Amino acid sequence: MTKPIIQFKHVQKTFGSNIIIPDLSFTVNKGEFVTILGSSGSGKTTTLKMINGLLQPSAGEILIDGQKINDLDLVKLRRHMGYVVQQIGLFPHMTISQNIAVVPKMLQWPQNKIEERVNELLKLVQLAPQEYANRYPQQLSGGQQQRIGVARALATNPPYVLFDEPFGALDALTRSELQREIKRIHESLPDKTFLFVTHDINEALFLGQRVMVMHQGKVAQFARPQEIVHHPATAFVKELLGTVQQNKNLWREQDD
Ligand SMILES: Nc1ncnc2c1ncn2[C@@H]1O[C@H](COP(=O)(O)OP(=O)(O)OP(=O)(O)O)[C@@H](O)[C@H]1O
């Protein structure tokens, strides 16, 4: 059964006199993996930040699990939302296990529970605990650091995880490996809602059970990947899909 878990109702966001998001309404259901795709400046990050309360809407309403976000304790809300960003910001003077354990420690989990959880998470992101737990972030590759970012975001088992272009700075191979991992992780964790911002169309179509295409602060289309590919709803979505075709053509030209 689908249960609305994140709802935007006529949300507007302005910065000074700039209307970045004029009127945004959408619903994400519990357990979904939704990707948010759009060109630079279309309001993707702003949308994510309004979901975890880092930014307030200028008008309209946001409901999290049926409750108005304004009525929620923002500290508690953020604890329920893992957040993975491109600049993951691991603490350089802490080991990998200490980095993953930051929030559980803050919540005063007993030490043995923390250690158990760190081991479990390292295994989940496919890094052997005995090899990586005591290393420092600078002793890891960019892709491995992103895996730690994912592990840290999942540490307290939050029902929501928000991803903001987490793989943007990685090489193509590492990126596709991590995409497969993140899909597997979502499939292995029932009821977790993943919201994943990207401007990479292939990434959005591969990961998202539904894809929300944003353009100039509005939803251009919000549908299953196949629906978007076969029935693009607007000229913008068509153009976006056209860029994939253009890349294929470029390859073909080089083959000739
Ligand atoms: N704190 C702020 N003050 C003023 N303008 C802002 C602020 N944050 C974002 N903006 C503007 O809002 C618009 C949307 O920004 P946002 O970061 O949401 O876009 P985006 O779709 O995530 O883009 P990108 O893919 O480049 O990260 C941009 O024009 C940006 O300059």
pLDDT in tens, 28-62: 999 999 999 998 889 999 999 999 999 999 999 99
Proportion of the chain in helix, strand, coil states, percent, rounded to 5: 45, 25, 30
Kindly report, residue by residue over 128-141, the tens digit of the pLDDT.
999 999 999 999 98
**Cα separation of the two ends of the chain:** 51
Candidates 12, 13, 15, 51: which one to mutate for ligand 1, based on the most atoms within 8 Å of Cβ? 15
| Cα–Cα dist 228/198, whole Å | 16
Which of 58-67, 84-93, 129-138, 185-194 shows the lowest per-residue confidence on average (mean pLDDT)?
Answer: 84-93
Domain ranges of the chain: 87-157
**pLDDT computed for residue 228 by the predictor:** 94
Assess whether pLDDT exceeds 80 at residue 254: no
Ligand 1 pocket residue status of 217, Cβ below 6 Å: no
| Cα–Cα dist 140/162, whole Å | 23
Cβ-proximal residues to 236 (8 Å cutoff; 6+ apart), any chain? 213, 215, 220
Ligand 1: centre distance to CA 170 (Å): 22
**pLDDT computed for residue 85 by the predictor:** 84
Characterise 227 by phi-psi region: left (phi > 0), alpha (psi -120 to 50), beta (else).
Answer: alpha
Assess whether pLDDT exceeds 70 at residue 255: no
Contact between 215 and 236 (Cβ < 8 Å): yes
Q: What confidence tier does 253 reach under pLDDT thresholds 50, 70, 90? A: low
Nearest atom in ligand 1 to 42's CA:
21
Ligand 1 pocket residue status of 46, Cβ below 6 Å: yes
Note the Cα 42 to chain centre separation in Å: 16
Reported ipTM: the value is 0.94
pTM, rounded to two decimals:
0.89
